[in-house]
Structure 1
Amino acid sequence: MRPRLSRLAVLLDVDGTLAPVREHWDEAEVPPATREIIGRLAERAGLVALVSGRPLTDLERMTGRADLPAAGNHGLELRRPGEEGAPLPEVAAHLGALADLMARWRGEFAAAGIGIEDKGATVSFHYRTADDPPAAAELLMGPVAADARAAGLRTTPGRKILEIRPPVEADKGTAVHALLAGRDDLDVAIFIGDDVTDADGWRALSELVAAGRLQRGIAVLACSAETPDGLAERADLVVDGTSGAAAALEALVAD
């Protein structure tokens, strides 16, 4: 049985879930057909929100929507319903360490073909298009990650990416809690994602159900050839990549 839309929250990762992954991260966007489905769903569901590792400005560009509630930079930026988006106050103290890290490694990254995505509150290093991806991964996951941790920063690997972030207690799980805070009008929440960081959002749904704030939480995986091992076993439902995610959203609004 489909949940009642007016009491349903739909929480959506973007890259690899709504937007196909591209060779260059700045080329990714949500297809027009999926944007249209999201628009119809936003008109009828209790909440439709984006929960992404991208900054809020990227989410607006990729979806064409500046009005949706959203969490960017894995919860380090928040735009709650009816509010302007902003970084968490604790982030500012660590921006200098992020800038210094990028400066130390910029030359070596350029030589290796590693892309640097400065997202303001975080920075992501992409090795999908590096000259030698395995060697680039070894560099990032070894000495670069160690350098970041020595500077008091946190590291999070992903799909052909290493993200460096401030040591602030924020992830997609804390973002879900923030976006659903005070929403007693919601009974069911669905979180659709494609990577290990999305499991934090799934965990938050389980916590909200255990606390009696939701009747049900549904973890949906948009599966692909790059899906990390063991992730499918943690999901309630597995769909086929971005096309499967779009089909699942369409099914929610189908008459």
Structure 2
Amino acid sequence: MTVGCKDPKTGKMMKQSVRVSNPTLNFINVPIVRDPKLIPRGLPRNKHLKIESNGGGHLVREARVSTLLDSMRASSPARARPASAATRAASLDDEQKSWIQRHPSALSMFEQITRASVGKKIVMFLDYDGTLSPIVEDPDRAFMSDEMREAVRDTASFFPTAIVSGRCRDKVYSFVKLTELYYAGSHGMDIKGPPPGSRCNGNRMNNGESVLCQPASEFLPMIDEVYKTLVESTKSIPGAKVETNKFCLSVHFRCVDEKSWDDLAKQVKLVLSEYPKLKLTYGRKVLEIRPTIEWDKGKALEFLLEALGYANSNDDVLPIYIGDDRTDEDAFKVLRERGQGLGILVSKVPKETNASYSLQEPSEVMSFLRRLAEWKRKSLRASL
């Protein structure tokens, strides 16, 4: 955009162009002015200005951190408002009942789900953290139980099954340890299937080879550079942890004191201001840094359906996606827009979602998977 400022030598008004370097991050670069008092008017309000020295002049760089802080707080448990315990309980109960009516439990609606699958091939998509494993303070210790692993293995013996996670694909595999699955790491930017020649529930890739999709390969050097910079710039903030997921990064603040969230947000914003090809999103107590390409968990779902041969078979396939995070909403939205498949949100509290059904926690996910496998087992026996 163009703004006016006064030339300190002539006193005349001059037009200056202002370039928005990254609308997603709310950074605005303003041309160098010789006097800080002559900062152009008309800039967006409720933002924080940072003035840096540059060759005798002053470069005005504006970083809006408040929006990011709001997002960080939104991913945290809500604080109780000043009210009586009875009033809060009644209000929450009413809200929960209303939400459950719109997103009923996948366990209580199990028969309806199986009826919808008659004559169709079920394809399972599962998030990892908060879905197959509990959310823990140390992301490196988000282990799934042996019982959950067996439930996933049993499910995969009947249905093509994929793990779709923001984690690095190799990291997710080290947790799950099942070769017969499809793995989509880095929010779907790193997809691979079972080894060539292997068979999973009677299905095989059309070309007989494992799936491999890496649409963001060109960003690897940049991601690695940003990772090193963030590790260095956040090491002074106790509890902050930067995790590399190969094609994206995660900045965990679950163990960071809320008083330090502002400092963490500023550090992340400052680093990313130099990388307009990267975007910032957030999940449950985590900031996600990803390439700006049009790719997410919804795209990964569509890619896997096509790779499995179900791209144009809306009447023959029933995708079921189970996840707990904001990033899973991309997949829920795809299913809703296609009018095909079922999204199941894992959450104990009401949330805005495109999912059709809900489950409260990983233990209910395990029960659902076990029940689904047993239903299929009985169906096959009955058909003999």
Give the TM-score normalised by the residue count of structure 2. Answer: 0.58
1:18 maps to 132
| 1:1-255 → structure 2 map (5 Å cutoff) | 1=112, 2=114, 3-4=117-118, 7-45=121-159, 47-80=160-193, 82=205, 83-84=209-210, 86=212, 88-89=214-215, 91-113=216-238, 114-130=240-256, 132=257, 134-145=258-269, 147-152=271-276, 153-181=278-306, 182-183=309-310, 184=313, 186-209=316-339, 216-224=340-348, 229-231=351-353, 234-254=354-374, 255=378
8 Å contact 1:56–1:85 — kept in the other structure?
no
Count of residue pairs the alignment pairs up? 241
Q: Comparing both chains, which one has the higher relative contact order based on Cα–Cα distances under 8 Å and sequence gaps of 6 or more?
A: 1
8 Å contact 2:156–2:180 — kept in the other structure?
no
Larger Rg: 2
3-state SS, counterpart of residue 197 of structure 1: helix
2:31 maps to none
CA-to-aligned-CA distance 1:127-150 (integer Å, 9 cap, x gap): 1122x2x24433344451354254
8 Å contact 2:344–2:358 — kept in the other structure?
yes
Greater alpha carbon shift after TM alignment, 73-82 vs 154-163: 73-82
Amino acid of the structure 1 residue aligned with 2:279? R
Amino acid of the structure 1 residue aligned with 2:188? G
Shift of 1:121: 1.0
In 1: Cα distance, 2:274 partner to 2:121 partner:
45
RMSD over aligned CA atoms reads: 2.3
In 2: Cα distance, 1:68 partner to 1:6 partner:
20
In 2: Cα distance, 1:149 partner to 1:167 partner:
14
In 2: Cα distance, 1:5 partner to 1:71 partner:
27
Give the TM-score normalised by the residue count of structure 1. Answer: 0.85
8 Å contact 2:125–2:163 — kept in the other structure?
yes
Which ranges in structure 2 are unaligned for 5 or more consecutive residues? Answer: 1-111, 194-203, 379-384
CA-to-aligned-CA distance 1:48-88 (integer Å, 9 cap, x gap): 11111111111211111133112111111111464446452
Q: Percent identity among equivalent residues?
A: 28
Q: Comparing both structures, which one devotes a greater share of its residues to helix? A: 1
In 2: Cα distance, 1:249 partner to 1:5 partner:
19
